[in-house]
Amino acid sequence: MADGWSTDTGEAVYRSRDAMLFSWWLDMDHNILVLFLAGDDDEELVVGWQEKLFSQYEVDLFQSESVCQTPLERQYHTEIMAQERTRGRRNRRIFTYTDFDRFTNWEGHSQSMVTQVKSNPTFLAERMANVRHRRQDRRPVDSTIPKSRLITWEPSEDFVKTSHVVNTPVQTMHIMGDLGPPGKLGQKEKECLLCTIRADGNGVVTIKPDFNKAKEPYRVETEGEKREVWRLTLENVSEGIRPEEKEREQRMYKDLYVRHKDYLNSLVGQDFEMPPPGILRLLVNGEIDSAKGFEYDNLYVHFFLELPHNWSTLPFHSLSGVTQTCRTKTIGKDDVAFFSYPFSFESFFRREDETEESLPQWPVLYFKVLSLDFWQRYRNEGYGYLVIPSTPGKMYIEHGHLLMPAP
Cα–Cα distance, 296 to 293 (Å, whole number): 9
In the CATH scheme, what is the homologous superfamily, with its name and number, of domain 279-387?
Answer: C2 domain (2.60.40.150)
pLDDT of the residue at 33: 23
- The answer to whether the beta carbons of residues 14 and 207 sit under 8 Å apart is yes
- The answer to whether the beta carbons of residues 22 and 14 sit under 8 Å apart is no
pLDDT of the residue at 166: 64
- Give the Cβ contact number of residue 402 at 10 Å: 17
State in Å, rounded, how far the first CA of the chain is from the last one: 78
Confidence band (pLDDT; 50, 70, 90) for 325?
Answer: very high
pLDDT of the residue at 363: 92
341 pLDDT higher than 90: yes
Model confidence over 357-393: pLDDT tens digits?
556 788 999 989 999 988 888 888 888 888 888 888 8
DSSP 403: B
Buried b (16+ CB within 10 A) or exposed e, 120-144: eeeeeeeeeeeeeeeeeeeeeeeee
Buried b (16+ CB within 10 A) or exposed e, 296-316: eebbbbebebebeeebebeee
pLDDT of the residue at 35: 23
- Give the Cβ contact number of residue 58 at 10 Å: 19
DSSP 6: B
Cα–Cα distance, 114 to 229 (Å, whole number): 10
pLDDT of the residue at 25: 55
**CATH 2.60.40.150 in the chain, residues?**
279-387
Cα–Cα distance, 313 to 350 (Å, whole number): 11
Cα–Cα distance, 65 to 227 (Å, whole number): 36
What mean pLDDT comes out for the span 5-27?
66
Q: Which has more pLDDT, 288 or 270?
A: 288
What mean pLDDT comes out for the span 54-77?
87
Contacts of residue 88, defined as CB under 8 A and 6 or more positions apart, other chains included, come to: none
Cα–Cα distance, 234 to 272 (Å, whole number): 57
**pTM for the full predicted model:** 0.48
What mean pLDDT comes out for the span 64-91?
85
Which one, of 74, 53, 52, lies nearest residue 62 by Cα? Answer: 74
What mean pLDDT comes out for the span 232-256?
84
Model confidence over 162-206: pLDDT tens digits?
776 566 788 888 888 888 877 788 888 888 888 888 888 777 888
What mean pLDDT comes out for the span 96-115?
63
- Give the Cβ contact number of residue 177 at 10 Å: 24
Helix (H, G, I), strand (E, B) or coil at 382: strand
